[in-house]
Amino acid sequence: MAWNKRLTLLRDALAALLPFRPDAVPYLDAAGVSFIAIDMSGNPVTMWHNILSYASNNGHEMVVAIVDAVLANFPKNPHLLAYKAPVEEDYGLGPDIKNADWNDDIDKENVEKITGNASTLLPIRFLSIGLQRARAVARIYIRRGNKAEVGTGFLLPGNILLTNNHVLPDALTAAAALVQFDYEESETGNPVAVTSFETDPAAGYATSAENDWAAVKLKGNAVAEFGAIELTPDISVRKDDFVNIIQHPGGGFKQIALYHNIVTFSNDKIIQYLTDTEPGSSGAPVFNSNWQLVALHHSGGMLREPGMTKRLLRNEGININMVARGLQTHKLI
């Protein structure tokens, strides 16, 4: 079985759920996988790449057995469920570019035209403003014994960190979290020095499990150094708009998703889009092309668009207007 995008998404999900060898071994045993010949050293992504490569080379059934074993303990994980879900007819991994014929002449009428339904041309200041917004995005790191849980969050005015409820579900979890800014690579590809802040739930913590958001005050003054992302009152987003997400996918270095970033559905509660994310991206800010905050990313996988029975491969965020109303109710903004 050749490596494909679905295996990549599965690999990254398992690396976030089970990052260490002792975590992975019981599930491989349960799946009947002999891991003696598998190199399980290296970082979590490398370890799971080696495991899934071995499994896929021995047949799709072995990969499914691993997924089923992990699902027994994580039955609602959207990335595991997405792997098990049947592939819809309109779900594609893109054309086979390596085998595509690029030798045909280009129609002169198509040269220097805008393609698609909307222009993707942006002013060059788009890049500098994006870098400013990125300063306020942080990795959330929670250590639980030999395991680590990771997520993404970002600063709002008032020194408030916003993320998902499933990242910081209660004040006790929030108190154990370390918020790491500048967890990223420099222009030369070297790690930047990280600045960490502790949370202060006693000074302010609120959450909504139903709408999957959580907010907590930070100790110190992170906003003075890293800035804050402002809330725009009653911001709107529509189908076919573009959205960009600054995130810590897999708990790794800060990244930005800019390609095939089309909004596929929007209402007053949720926004669905094709923009890439991974486990660890939960709690990331979702921006429009003017770098205005429009959503709080919270899930991905084979999701249903409201009013439809068919599942589609989508990512999804909570409409920021709903989050803002919750923050106002709890008097955090």
The per-residue pLDDT for 250 is 74
Domain 244-329 CATH (choose: 3.10.20.740, 3.50.50.60, 2.40.10.10, 3.40.640.10): 2.40.10.10
Domain 136-226 CATH (choose: 3.40.50.11720, 2.40.10.10, 3.30.1360.70, 3.40.50.1220): 2.40.10.10
pLDDT tens digits along 129-175: 999 999 999 999 988 776 778 889 999 999 999 999 988 999 999 99
pLDDT tens digits along 51-75: 999 999 998 899 999 999 999 988 8
pLDDT tens digits along 84-106: 876 543 333 333 333 434 334 43
CB-count burial class (<10 Å; 0-12, 13-18, 19+) for 229: buried
Return the percentage of the chain with pLDDT > 90, whole number.
40
Which residues, including other chains, have CB under 8 Å from residue 242's CB and lie 6 or more apart? 118, 120, 261, 262, 263, 288, 289
The per-residue pLDDT for 76 is 78
The per-residue pLDDT for 89 is 34
3-state secondary structure 136-195: CEEEEEEEECCEEEEEEEEEECCCEEEECCCCCCCHHHHHCEEEEECCCECCCCCECCCE
The per-residue pLDDT for 95 is 37
pLDDT class of 266 with cuts at 50, 70, 90: confident
The per-residue pLDDT for 139 is 92
Region 223-234: what's the mean pLDDT? 94
pTM of the shown model: 0.65
The per-residue pLDDT for 3 is 76
Q: Tell me the pLDDT of the chain averaged across its residues.
A: 81
Six-digit token pair at 242? 């573009």
Number of other residues whose CB lies within 10 A of the CB of residue 97: 7
- The more confident residue out of 211 and 97 is 211
Residue 313 has pLDDT above 50, yes or no: yes
DSSP codes, 13-67? HHHHH--SHHHHHHHHHHTT---TTS---SSHHHHHHHHHHHHHHT-HHHHHHHH
